Amino acid sequence: MTQDLFAAEPTPAERASELRAQLHHHAHRYYVLDTPEIPDAEYDRLFQELQAIEAAHPELLTPDSPTQRVGGKVLDGLVPVRHAVPMLSIQTETDTTAGGAEAFDARVRRELGRTDTEAPVEYAAELKFDGLAINLRYEQGVLVQAATRGDGETGEDVTQNIRTIGQIPLRLYGAAPEVLEVRGEVYMRRDDFERLNERQREKGEKTYINPRNTAAGAVRQLDPAVTAQRPLSFFAYGMGEVRGWVVPGTHSGLLDALAAFGLPVCADRCVALGANGLVAFHAQIAAKRDALPFDIDGVVYKVNSLALQRELGFKTREPRWAVAHKYPAQEQLTTVQAIDVQVGRTGKLTPVAKLAPVFVGGVTVTNATLHNESEARRKDVRVGDTVIVRRAGDVIPEVVAVLTDKRLDGAQPFTMPTRCPVCGSEAVREDGEVDHRCTGGLFCGAQRKQAILHYAQRRAVDIEGLGDKLVEQLVDGDVVKTLPDLYRLGLMALANLDRMAQKSAQNVLDALEKSKQTTLPRFLFGLGIRHVGEATAKDLARHFGNLDDIMAASEERLLEVNDVGPTVAQSIHTFFQQPHNREVVEQLRACGVRWEEGTPAERAAQPLTGKTFVLTGTFPTLRREEAKELLEAAGAKVAGSVSKKTDYVVAGEEAGSKLDKARELGVAVLDEAGMLALLAT
Pick the closest to residue 592 from 420, 461, 469 (CA basis). Answer: 461
CATH architecture of 2-68: Orthogonal Bundle (1.10)
603-680: CATH topology = Rossmann fold (3.40.50)
CB-based contacts of 370-373 (< 8 A; 24+ apart in sequence): 370/339, 370/398, 370/399, 370/414, 371/201, 371/398, 372/201, 372/416, 372/434, 372/435, 372/436, 373/414, 373/415, 373/416, 373/429, 373/436
Q: How far apart are CA 521 and CA 336, in angstroms?
A: 43
Q: How far apart are CA 215 and CA 281, in angstroms?
A: 27
Measured in whole angstroms, the distance separating CA 660 from the mean position of its chain's CA atoms is 23
Q: How far apart are CA 135 and CA 154, in angstroms?
A: 11
- By the 10 Å C-beta count (0-12 exposed, 13-18 middle, 19+ buried), 493 is classed as middle
441-515: CATH topology = DNA polymerase; domain 1 (1.10.150)
Q: How far apart are CA 518 and CA 521, in angstroms?
A: 9
- Residue 329 pLDDT greater than 70, yes or no: yes
Residue 180 has a pLDDT of: 97
- Residue 3 pLDDT greater than 60, yes or no: no
Q: Enumerate the CATH 2.40.50.140 domain ranges in the chain, comma separated.
A: 331-429
Element (H, E) at 2: helix 2-5
Backbone region of residue 146 per phi and psi (left: phi > 0; alpha: psi in -120 to 50; beta: other values):
beta
**Is 136 within 8 Å of 162 (Cβ atoms)?**
yes
Residue 242 has a pLDDT of: 97
More confident of the two residues 395 and 621: 621
Element (H, E) at 423: none
Known catalytic residue at 128:
yes
pLDDT digits (tens, 9 = 90+) for 564-601: 888 889 889 888 887 878 888 999 999 999 998 876 75
Q: How far apart are CA 642 and CA 661, in angstroms?
A: 7
Mean pLDDT in residue range 107-135:
94
334 pLDDT tier (thresholds 50, 70, 90): very high
Q: What does DSSP say about strands 427-429 and 154-156: parallel, antiparallel, or unpaired?
A: unpaired
Which of 116-130, 304-318, 375-389, 489-503 is the least confident region? Answer: 489-503
DSSP string, 344-372: -TT-EEEEEEEEEEEEETTEEEEEEE--S
More confident of the two residues 355 and 535: 355
Hey, what CATH class is 91-326 in? alpha beta
- Residue 255 pLDDT greater than 90, yes or no: yes
Measured in whole angstroms, the distance separating CA 588 from the mean position of its chain's CA atoms is 39
Residue 623 has a pLDDT of: 85
What rounded mean pLDDT belongs to the chain?
Answer: 87
pLDDT digits (tens, 9 = 90+) for 358-382: 988 777 889 999 988 888 888 899 9
The proportion of the chain whose per-residue pLDDT surpasses 90, expressed as a percent, equals 45
Pick the closest to residue 256 from 270, 244, 273 (CA basis). Answer: 270
Q: How far apart are CA 108 and CA 312, in angstroms?
A: 8
Q: What does DSSP say about strands 648-651 and 233-243: parallel, antiparallel, or unpaired?
A: unpaired
- Residue 75 pLDDT greater than 80, yes or no: no
1 pLDDT tier (thresholds 50, 70, 90): very low
pLDDT digits (tens, 9 = 90+) for 265-294: 999 999 999 999 999 999 999 988 888 989
Q: How far apart are CA 434 and CA 543, in angstroms?
A: 32
Q: What are phi and psi of 580, to 5 degrees?
A: -70, -30
Return the CATH superfamily for domain 520-590.
5' to 3' exonuclease, C-terminal subdomain (1.10.150.20)
- Residue of 73, 128, 354, 658 marked catalytic: 128
DSSP string, 512-531: HHHHTB--HHHHHHHTT-TT
Q: How many helices (H) and strands (E) does the chain have?
A: 25, 24
Q: What does DSSP say about strands 270-273 and 91-93: parallel, antiparallel, or unpaired?
A: unpaired
Residue 63 has a pLDDT of: 66
Q: How far apart are CA 270 and CA 275, in angstroms?
A: 14
**Under CATH, which number does the domain 331-429 receive?**
2.40.50.140
Residue 497 has a pLDDT of: 87
Residue 394 has a pLDDT of: 60
Measured in whole angstroms, the distance separating CA 26 from the mean position of its chain's CA atoms is 26
Element (H, E) at 318: strand 318-319
Q: Report how far apart, in Å, the C-alpha atoms of 424 and of each of 416, 418, 441, 482, 580 are.
A: 13, 9, 12, 18, 18
Q: What is the reported pTM? A: 0.55
Q: How far apart are CA 259 and CA 235, in angstroms?
A: 10
Q: Enumerate the CATH 3.30.470.30 domain ranges in the chain, comma separated.
A: 91-326
Task: Give the count of beta carbons closer than 10 Å to the beta carbon of residue 54.
Answer: 20
Which of 40-44, 476-480, 606-610, 676-680 is the least confident region? Answer: 606-610
Which residues share a beta bridge with 122?
Answer: 273
256 pLDDT tier (thresholds 50, 70, 90): very high
Mean pLDDT in residue range 445-461:
89
- Residue 70 pLDDT greater than 70, yes or no: no
Mean pLDDT in residue range 260-268:
92
28 pLDDT tier (thresholds 50, 70, 90): low
Q: How far apart are CA 260 and CA 256, in angstroms?
A: 6
- Residue 604 pLDDT greater than 70, yes or no: no
Q: Enumerate the CATH 3.40.50.10190 domain ranges in the chain, comma separated.
A: 603-680
Element (H, E) at 547: helix 547-552
Residue 227 has a pLDDT of: 84
261 pLDDT tier (thresholds 50, 70, 90): very high
DSSP string, 11-37: PHHHHHHHHHHHHHHHHIIIIISS--S
Backbone region of residue 235 per phi and psi (left: phi > 0; alpha: psi in -120 to 50; beta: other values):
beta
**Is 167 within 8 Å of 179 (Cβ atoms)?**
no
pLDDT digits (tens, 9 = 90+) for 379-429: 899 999 999 998 866 668 889 889 999 999 999 999 999 999 988 888 888
pLDDT digits (tens, 9 = 90+) for 483-493: 999 999 999 88
**Is 380 within 8 Å of 413 (Cβ atoms)?**
yes
- What is the rounded radius of gyration, in angstroms, for the C-alpha atoms of the chain? 30
Mean pLDDT in residue range 121-140:
95
Residue 381 has a pLDDT of: 94
**Is 302 within 8 Å of 124 (Cβ atoms)?**
yes
DSSP state of 674: H
Mean pLDDT in residue range 145-165:
91
One-letter amino acid for residue 284 of the chain = Q
Q: Enumerate the CATH 1.10.287.610 domain ranges in the chain, comma separated.
A: 2-68
Residue 2 has a pLDDT of: 46
Pick the closest to residue 122 from 263, 249, 257 (CA basis). Answer: 249
Q: Enumerate the CATH 1.10.150.20 domain ranges in the chain, comma separated.
A: 441-515, 520-590
- Residue 557 pLDDT greater than 60, yes or no: yes
174 pLDDT tier (thresholds 50, 70, 90): confident
